[in-house]
Amino acid sequence: MVRRRDEERILEVNATMKGDLVFSDPVNLKINGKFEGTLKAAGNLIIGEKATVFADIEGENIIISGLVKGKIKSISLVTLTSQAIVYADIEAPKISIQEGAVFNGSCRMYTEKITLGELAEYLSVEKEKILEWVNKGKLLAQKEGDTLVFDKKEVEAWVAFNR
C-alpha cells in the first residue's frame, strides 16, 4: 500500500515475508507483519508495533517499535521507541532509546569512516606505519569486506592522546 502523508510516500507492508527486501532508491518503508531475511532500504525504515522481524537490517533512519532480532546498521539514526523489543547488534552514528524499550545486544556508534589510504594522507604517514599501529593494538580498525576502515572521531581522539 502506498499512502501520501504530507507529500511523503510510504510503502506499508502488512504481510508475512521471507527473503531479501532491497530498495536502492529512497523509499519510506513500514513493516507491520512478520519478516525474516535481509532488509535494506535507502530512506526511512519503520518497524511497526505489531511487527516481528528476524533480519539483518540496513537503512538510513531506522525506527523500531516491534520485535527485532538480528543486526542493525544505519547511516544516520536508529530509534528504539518505548514499545521496542530488540535483540541485536546495532551500528549507527546516532542511537535513541526511549524509556520502556528493551535492548539486549551490542552498540557501536561511529562518525565518518575513512579508508587506510585516506588515513595515511590525513596523518601524513606511510600505510605500513598505520598497519603496524593496528597490529600492535594501538589504533582501532574495522574490516568491511576486504577494506580496512577507521572511525575518524576515534582517530582524532587517538592523535590528540598520543601527541
Q: What is the pLDDT of residue 11?
A: 65
Q: What is the pLDDT of residue 1?
A: 42
Give the class (CATH, top level) of 113-161: mainly alpha
CA dist list (Å): 80 to 47, 83, 88? 10, 8, 12
Q: Is the pLDDT of residue 155 over 80?
A: yes
pLDDT tens-digit series, residues 122-143: 888 999 999 999 999 888 888 8
Q: What share of the chain is helix, strand, coil (3-state, %, to 5)?
A: 15, 60, 25
Cell numbers at residue 114, please? 575513512
Q: pLDDT class for 93, splitting at 50, 70, 90?
A: confident
pLDDT tens-digit series, residues 112-124: 788 899 899 888 8
Q: What residue spans define the domains of the chain?
A: 2-109, 113-161
What's the length of the chain?
A: 163
53's torsion region: left (phi>0), alpha (psi -120 to 50) or beta?
A: beta
pLDDT tens-digit series, residues 2-44: 444 444 566 666 767 888 888 877 788 889 989 999 998 888 8
Model pTM? 0.67
